[in-house]
């Protein structure tokens, strides 16, 4: 399969959980014979890197600002991914759920990996928290499949939104 992983800062993982997840997931998929591309942000991943651990890297620009960094890069990544004809897009971060419909319109199935309840984090202002609340709901119906690696988050989405 031809698989895209996007919505993270990129790999090699040097920042957080989504990056570690993307790197380890991609490496495991490559070992199983899949062609995997991980999208990274130009201020986290060197543009000179084209491959890492057998994983193709696509480095795209973004707007380096707390409130737009993820969204701008993820939009660029989704638009690029649509033209690559992947078999599946794995999007990380519920904030990116708003873009899940785009690949689906072109027949590319979307898996969304949610992690944590971001709107509860102190780092977000009222607008950021409201956006994450919206994205929680969108996460339950815009992608083909929503996944999480934590039972407590699975329970949260099931109890709050009826997600199975």
What is the C-alpha to C-alpha distance for residues 92 and 99, in angstroms, rounded to an integer?
11
Each residue's pLDDT, cut to its tens digit, for the chain (164 residues) gives 999 999 999 999 987 788 999 999 999 999 999 999 999 999 999 889 999 999 999 999 998 887 789 999 999 999 999 999 999 999 999 999 999 999 999 999 999 999 877 766 777 889 889 999 999 999 999 999 999 989 999 999 999 999 86
Give the per-residue pLDDT at 128: 86
Q: Are 162 and 136 a contacting pair, CB within 8 Å? A: no
Strands 88-92, 2-6: pairing kind:
parallel
Q: What is the pLDDT of residue 119?
A: 66
**Distance between CA 96 and CA 129 in Å, rounded?**
14
pLDDT of amino acid 116:
75
pLDDT in the model for residue 125: 86
For the chain, the domains span 2-161
* The two structure tokens encoding residue 19: 């990056």
> What pLDDT was estimated at residue 164?
67
pLDDT of residue 15: 73
Domain 2-161 listed as CATH 3.40.50.2000: yes
d(CA 5, CA 53): 15
């Amino acid at each position: 399969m031809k698989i895209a992983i996007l919505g993270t800062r990129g790999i090699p993982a040097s920042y957080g959980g989504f990056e570690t997840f993307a790197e380890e997931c991609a490496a495991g998929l490559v070992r199983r014979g899949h062609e995997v591309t991980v999208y990274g942000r130009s201020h986290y991943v060197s543009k000179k890197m084209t491959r890492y651990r057998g994983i193709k890297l696509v480095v795209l620009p973004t707007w380096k600002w707390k409130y737009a960094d993820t969204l701008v890069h993820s939009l660029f990544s989704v638009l690029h991914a649509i033209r690559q004809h992947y078999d599946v897009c794995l999007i990380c971060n519920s904030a990116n759920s708003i873009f899940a419909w785009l690949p689906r319109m072109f027949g590319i199935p979307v898996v969304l990996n949610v992690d944590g309840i971001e709107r509860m984090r102190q780092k977000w202002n009222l607008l950021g928290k409201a956006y994450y609340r919206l994205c929680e709901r969108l996460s339950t119906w815009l992608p083909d499949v929503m996944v999480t690696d934590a039972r407590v988050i699975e329970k949260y989405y099931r109890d709050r939104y009826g997600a199975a």
